[in-house]
Structure 1
Amino acid sequence: MPNPPGRSSSREKLLDAAAALIATHGVQELTLEGVAAAAGVTKAGLIYHFKTKDDLLGALVERMSLELDQRSRTKAAQRGATTSARLMALVDDTFDMSPGEKRLQANLLAAATSYPHLLGPVQQLFDRTYGELSDAGPDAGLALVVAAALDGISLLELLNLHQFSPQQHAAMRQALQQLAQRFD
């Protein structure tokens, strides 16, 4: 995942390095020494910010959850902050995810079997999103179905259970956008 602009702190550089290593090699190959080397800091410099691999992974999952939420909310706000806008932003996030972000999420998802306690920020993100969509009025059920369909598409691909073709992506995206527009 490329470094977003404005990130210059050692802590952020360490998280960026960890994300890049996880996306490439998976969590099982992640070491504090490797992260420190990739970030250009000493192991002591890394330990100042993250005492353990668990601390580092927890901070990375939290940052990733916050970034996904913020990106989606920003897109929705640009469209008017309606239920339709929120759903359209989720559609975009699902179908426009970069390959690097997909690899990182897939590897972190795989790590959840060994580190299930790290899923708290992700569960909170889902709780918040589905909670807000539950308040979508008489069509709340439809809003929830659209969001669940998007999460299902993502999980099928992240878990490598099925890879949809570009044509299938386009057809699903169009159908989900049409459903999302019903909230206008």
Structure 2
Amino acid sequence: MPNSSQRSSGKQRLIEAAAEIVSTQGVQQLTLEGVAAAAGITKGGLIYHFKTKDDLLAALVQSMIDEWDQRTRAKASESGSNSSAMLLALINDTFDMQPSEKQLMRNLLAAASSYPHLLGPVRELYDRTYRDFAGSSAQTGIALVITAAIDGISLLELLDFHHFSEDQRKAMRKALQTLAKDLT
């Protein structure tokens, strides 16, 4: 019987394989057989961790959220644990997002109409983030506006509504960083 670290690594390989398939081919092409083959695990091994495609997609979304949240919080703690540090980390994560991560998020957003339960953990992340900034300082309104601007920029690009030029992205990043640094 595999130990917990072997189970965890097998589970993580499955999530990574699912992420690669969703990113490159879309959710419609995601099958349990395809994920098992891509991860080098039997379908029975996959089913040990994920009974259904829905379970696998939910784990993928939760893994992405956890990774994003941990990465952002780690960056913020390097600069201090205040609102300004967290906002700067969010700004940098948004503007430095890799194309493969954007594509994965884009494809998962597209799948939300068929898999609405995937949005629950995303809503929880947004709720937690906005709640954290709601009572963060005397300048709560500015912190919330910066956070909403970051989310708006991301969604405009993820949903292919608008793509900002590099000059526009640099200008927005600089303006948001300046606002965030000024928070007490």
State if a TM-score over 0.5 links the two structures: yes
CA deviation map 1:92-134 (0-9, x unaligned): 0100000110001111111111111121211111111100100
Instruction: Spell out the pairing of 1:73-88 with structure 2 (5 A cutoff).
Output: 73-88=73-88
CA deviation map 1:54-101 (0-9, x unaligned): 000001111111111111100110010111101000100100000110
What is the TM-score with the length of structure 2 in the denominator? 0.94
Report the Cα distance in structure 2 between the residues aligned to 1:53 and 1:66, rounded to whole angstroms: 20
Alignment root-mean-square deviation, CA: 1.2
Equivalent residue number for residue 139 of structure 1: 139
**SS at the partner of 2:161?**
coil
**SS at the partner of 1:108?**
helix
Report the Cα distance in structure 2 between the residues aligned to 1:129 and 1:82, rounded to whole angstroms: 13
Equivalent residue number for residue 67 of structure 1: 67
Structure 2 residue identity aligned to 1:113: S
Structure 1 unaligned spans of 5+: 1-6
Report the Cα distance in structure 1 between the residues aligned to 2:154 and 2:33, rounded to whole angstroms: 32
**SS at the partner of 1:137?**
coil
Q: Does 1:44 align with 2:17?
A: no
Report the Cα distance in structure 1 between the residues aligned to 2:67 and 2:120, rounded to whole angstroms: 15
Q: Does 1:100 align with 2:103?
A: no
Equivalent residue number for residue 151 of structure 2: 151
Runs of 4+ in structure 1 deviating by more than 3 angstroms, as ranges, are: none
What is the TM-score with the length of structure 1 in the denominator? 0.94
Report the Cα distance in structure 1 between the residues aligned to 2:136 and 2:91, rounded to whole angstroms: 17
Structure 2 residue identity aligned to 1:101: E
Report the Cα distance in structure 2 between the residues aligned to 1:137 and 1:51, rounded to whole angstroms: 45
Structure 2 residue identity aligned to 1:71: R
Equivalent residue number for residue 122 of structure 1: 122
Report the Cα distance in structure 2 between the residues aligned to 1:46 and 1:103, rounded to whole angstroms: 24
Structure 2 residue identity aligned to 1:59: A
**SS at the partner of 1:113?**
coil
Q: Identity, % of aligned pairs?
A: 62
Equivalent residue number for residue 11 of structure 1: 11
Q: Residue 137 of structure 1: CA displacement?
A: 2.2
Structure 2 unaligned spans of 5+: 1-6
**SS at the partner of 1:164?**
coil
Report the Cα distance in structure 1 between the residues aligned to 2:171 and 2:99, rounded to whole angstroms: 20
Equivalent residue number for residue 4 of structure 1: none
Report the Cα distance in structure 2 between the residues aligned to 1:173 and 1:137, rounded to whole angstroms: 22
Q: Residue 8 of structure 1: CA displacement?
A: 6.9
**SS at the partner of 2:135?**
coil
